[in-house]
Amino acid sequence: MAALSHEELWRMREAPGADQQALAPLEHEAFAREYAAENPFAAIGLVAGIPAYQAAKGVGLLGSRTGASQPGAQMAAGYKGLSQGWGMALRRFMESVLPSAEAAEPPRVEQSMNRDGSMTFRREPATAPVVAAPVTPAATPIAPPRTFESEYERELRVLRGGRNSVGGTSIFNK
């Protein structure tokens, strides 16, 4: 059950007859794991927030289904989830930064026979994996600047009341 999400465990705890004592630590672990994996820097606040939450439940400031019956188990589960979440975030970061080990080829060694019968070994530099070049879409040709106005366009301009039209009014506004 430790692999269940916080939402799934919450639904299980809401079900009638659920074993609250068994599900509470798992829910605390899942919450801390998911929060730290999604927000690793904000989860630093959980270091102090986990015991503060248990203390608030213990003195009655917060309502709880389990009360202060097992604060140690719930705190330990919270810290366990916090470390799991940070591990997930670190793994995700490292995978995005470092190239995959599967993509790298092993170094090549070239051997050659010398005239005296001895062997010479030379290590060739590893080649980078072949990556297809990005395909850039063909640019649309830029239309040449217009240097003339057709008769049709000039008539439209005059009819619409454009520059150099007769009277400066448009026949479409009438």
Q: What is the pLDDT of residues 30-88, one digit of tens each?
A: 889 999 999 999 999 999 999 998 888 888 887 777 666 777 888 898 999 999 999 99
User: In the prediction, which pLDDT does 9 show?
Assistant: 81
CB-CB neighbours of 39 under 10 Å? 14
14/19 Cα distance (integer angstroms): 10
148/138 Cα distance (integer angstroms): 29
Supply φ then ψ for residue 108, to 5 degrees. -95, 140
Domain boundaries, the chain: 6-97
DSSP-assigned letter for residue 135: P
165/21 Cα distance (integer angstroms): 88
Q: What is the pLDDT of residues 129-141, one digit of tens each?
A: 666 667 766 666 6
